[in-house]
Copies of this chain bind each other. A is one copy, B any other.
Amino acid sequence: MARKKLVSDVGEVPLVELARKICKSGPRVKLGPGDDAAVVETDGIYLVVTTDMLVSRTHFPPGTEAEQIGHKAVVSNLSDLAAMGADPLGLVFSIAFPRSTEIDFVKRLLKGLDKTSREYGAYVVGGDLDESDDVIIAGTAFGIAPNGKYITRSGAKPGDLVAVTGSLGAAAAGLKILLDGLKARGFKQLIKAQLEPKARVREGKLIAQSGRATSMIDITDGFAASLWLIARESGVKIVVDEDKLPIDDLTKRFAHKYGLSAKDLALFGGDDLELIFTIKREGWEKVESEIRGIGSDITLIGEVKEGKGVYIRRGEEIEKLPDRGYRHFQ
């Protein structure tokens, strides 16, 4: 008899496909499993809901403080709302701790949850506390899509432009420092990018409210992996220009010092929590100026074409961008 298929054989994406196939939709469900968040309509209000689970062993590098675990649990959920263009209202958390956890650690983690939520105008409104061998934080963030406008991963169309907020690579560089125990001197901002990333909530709302964006996703498992998700879900080809990638400056200096590729950190490193989106050409200028208007960076990096897959252009050469990325480690 053939060995039965195990979770370790299939990886995360096929598991999500399974959930998509099995979980049936209902009349008020505008968007079910498989995007950054779900959308449910009730009384003309578009509720946006997402859940994200962090497991200490695989999601938190050595040196992560309790407050930072709390912070990250909040922003990883809010970033998914941001990728829909939603306005966060609140969060709930189910958290399991080992019995040997110090109460002080629990307190500091809860303080991290509370403080970071409020920075985004959202509140921790409930939770369940339990026991397990690992610290496990399952958060759910909920909010509304103002005017019923939300952006999925599946609407990119040939001719659209591709853009990204902020810069790329710093979170992956920070992870490298922590995992390899490299000297942090001069590179503290990279560690901060890994342990205290920001969710692009205001940016996501501006992009969605423009009415011109056609798809959006946040970078969790890496820039390349996120672009591939948009290309697959939208059934299009995406071509990005290597020269235009907004690779973080400090990440470049870090990479140079340690003989690493800043480009690889930017393309395949996770946790940047920036937003990648596609937009109709005529909508670009307004969104660009609005996002700069709130003090954030935004960069045009490529365009959507007929076809399939994700490609990167270097001068005259075009090659396929590998569909890989990482976020967890072990």
Binding site for B on A (CB under 8 A): 4-10, 12, 15-16, 18-19, 22-26, 28-29, 31-33, 35, 37-40, 42-43, 45, 47, 49-53, 55, 58, 89-90, 92-104, 106-107, 110-111, 113-114, 118, 121-134, 136, 138-140, 142, 144
Q: How far is the CA of A26 from the CA of B16 in the complex (A)?
A: 34
* In contact, B26 and A132 (Cβ under 8 angstroms): no
**Number of copies of this chain that the complex holds:** 2
Q: A122: which B residues are within 8 A, CB to CB?
A: 26
A128/B52 contact (C-beta < 8 A), A8-B99, A94-B138, A100-B8 known: yes
* In contact, A49 and B90 (Cβ under 8 angstroms): yes
Across the interface, name the chain B residue whose C-beta is closest to A10.
Answer: B103
* In contact, B134 and A133 (Cβ under 8 angstroms): yes
A92/B51 contact (C-beta < 8 A), A103-B7, A103-B9 known: yes
Q: How far is the CA of A102 from the CA of B10 in the complex (A)?
A: 10
* In contact, A24 and B92 (Cβ under 8 angstroms): no
3 nearest A-B pairs in the assembled complex, by CB-CB distance: A138-B138, A38-B125, A53-B94
* In contact, B18 and A107 (Cβ under 8 angstroms): yes
Q: How far is the CA of A246 from the CA of B136 in the complex (A)?
A: 39
Q: Which residue in B19, B89, B95, B102 is a CB contact (below 8 Å) of A47?
A: B89
